[in-house]
Amino acid sequence: MTHVANAPAPAPVNAAPAWRREVVDIARTLACALLLVFVVRTVLFQPFTIPSSSMEPGLVTGDYIVVSKYRYGWSTASLPFNPPVKPGRLLARSPARGDVVVFRRPNDPSTAWVKRVVGLPGDTVQVRSGQVFINGHAVKRTPRGMTQDHDAPERQVLAVHETLGDGRDYVTYDGGPSRPGDDTDVYRVPAGRYFVMGDNRDNSLDSRWPAEVGVGLLPAENLIGRAEIVLASWKPGAGLTRPRTWLNLQTDRFLKPIR
């Protein structure tokens, strides 16, 4: 009688390699996603939240804006944490007069500020009785009447429609006559610098003050990009650490282009 030897039992399937492969695949996917976010934020677009009232009425506290970083080329200001490498801009392009720009404050590069470009390299800028003069020519001002300050309703301000020489226009706030910054010397903007101002003229530290107090003449390498659109806006007091405030939205400010 012939005996057949028992076949060896199949080896147990080791699931560990498959588990490790899955973890590696997830890690690669996350790494690619993070790299994509980093590239988009560094090269193309970056969001910012408006923390102050200096650019009212166009931008108000709580606005969540998108900044295009490719408009003016790139510098170390475009990179996270503003690393201390060689200054200058790659593929540099100048802002247009009237652009709303986000930049690193010269006296504190860890903070980002937002203002409007008023003077370009080679310009002279002066403020007389609250009116801006560029190269000796007054920026046209059309009063639109008294209104409430958006962030401080108890404060009455004059809404003023300003029109630049090329026809670009926007609205500013005037808190009254004889305020600090209403009368200045003549500023001559050198090459590689810009003169910037807040639209809330009597509630803005900008190029009318030296860098130790405000901005001074803004170096081109400090530019981060141009403010393009308000994606959404939260009422003052809302914050990520307070979940009950997440729906405290200013719904009339969604998807507002920034003029």
pTM listed for this prediction: 0.83
pLDDT in tens, 45-97: 899 999 999 999 999 999 999 999 999 988 888 777 666 666 677 777 899 99
User: Per the domain annotation, does 27 fall within a domain?
Assistant: no
Among candidate residues 69, 78, 115, 233, the one labeled active-site is 115
Q: Is 43 helix (H, G, I), strand (E, B) or coil?
A: helix
Residue 245 has what pLDDT?
77
Residue 67: φ, ψ to 5°: -115, 130
Among candidate residues 53, 54, 78, 207, the one labeled active-site is 54
Checking if the pLDDT of 9 tops 90, the result is no
What range defines the domain where residue 224 resides? 45-257
Domain count of the fold of the chain: 1
- 54 catalytic per annotation: yes
**CATH number of the domain within which 161 lies:** 2.10.109.10
User: Per the domain annotation, does 7 fall within a domain?
Assistant: no
Residue 118 has what pLDDT?
98
Residue 227: count other Cβ atoms within 10 Å of its Cβ. Answer: 27
What is the DSSP code string of 203-234?
A: G--STTS-TTTS--SEEGGGEEEEEEEEEEEB
Checking if the pLDDT of 7 tops 60, the result is no
E strand residue ranges, the chain: 45-49, 63-68, 100-105, 108-119, 124-128, 131-134, 137-138, 140-148, 156-163, 169-174, 187-188, 193-197, 218-219, 223-233, 256-257
Residues near 16 by beta carbon (within 8 Å), at least 6 away in sequence: none
User: Per the domain annotation, does 10 fall within a domain?
Assistant: no
Q: Residue holding tokens 């590069």?
A: 109
User: Per the domain annotation, does 24 fall within a domain?
Assistant: no
Continuous segment of H or E residues that includes residue 16: helix 16-39
Q: Is 24 helix (H, G, I), strand (E, B) or coil?
A: helix
- 204 catalytic per annotation: no
Residue 43 has what pLDDT?
63
pLDDT in tens, 180-195: 999 999 999 999 999 9
Give mean pLDDT, residues 32-38: 64
Nearest to 171 by CA among 194, 145, 152: 145
The fraction of the chain above a pLDDT of 90, given in percent, is 66
Checking if the pLDDT of 237 tops 70, the result is yes
pLDDT in tens, 16-28: 577 777 777 777 7
Checking if the pLDDT of 206 tops 80, the result is yes
For residue 102, name the pLDDT band (cuts at 50, 70, 90). very high
Please check whether residue 201 is in contact with residue 75, taking contact to mean a CB–CB distance below 8 angstroms. Answer: no
Give mean pLDDT, residues 237-247: 74
Checking if the pLDDT of 236 tops 80, the result is no
